[in-house]
Amino acid sequence: MKSLLSFVILVAIQSSAFACERSLVGTWKSDGQATMAFVKEHSKIQQKTEDFLQAMVGHMTLTFSESELHLVMPNIHVPVAGHLRPFAGSEERKPYKVLFCNESMVVWSAKRSFGTTDTATTFNFVGPNTVWVYTGSTEPGMPDLHAREYFQRIR
In a 10 Å sphere around its CB, with 0-12 CB exposed, 13-18 middle and 19+ buried, how is residue 11 labelled? exposed
Residue 5 lies in a domain: no
Residue 67 lies in a domain: yes
Query: In CATH, what number is assigned to the domain containing residue 118?
Result: 2.40.128
Residue 11 lies in a domain: no
Q: State residue 29's pLDDT score.
A: 98
In sequence order, the β-bridge partners of residue 66 are none
pLDDT tens-digit map of 103-138: 999 999 999 887 788 999 999 999 999 999 998 766
Q: What percent of the chain has pLDDT over 70?
A: 84
Residue 13 lies in a domain: no
Q: State residue 87's pLDDT score.
A: 96
Residue 3 lies in a domain: no
pLDDT tens-digit map of 4-30: 444 434 333 343 345 788 999 999 999
Residue 28 lies in a domain: yes
Domain range for 24? 20-153
Residue 123 lies in a domain: yes
Total residues found in the chain within this entry: 155
Phi and psi (nearest 5°) for 25?
-55, 130
> At residue 139, does pLDDT exceed 60?
yes
Residue 17, phi-psi category: left (phi > 0), alpha (psi -120 to 50), beta (remainder) = alpha
Residue 110 lies in a domain: yes
Higher pLDDT, 116 or 58: 58
- Rounded to 5 degrees, what angle do the CA atoms 142, 132, 106 make? 100
What domain count does the chain have? 1
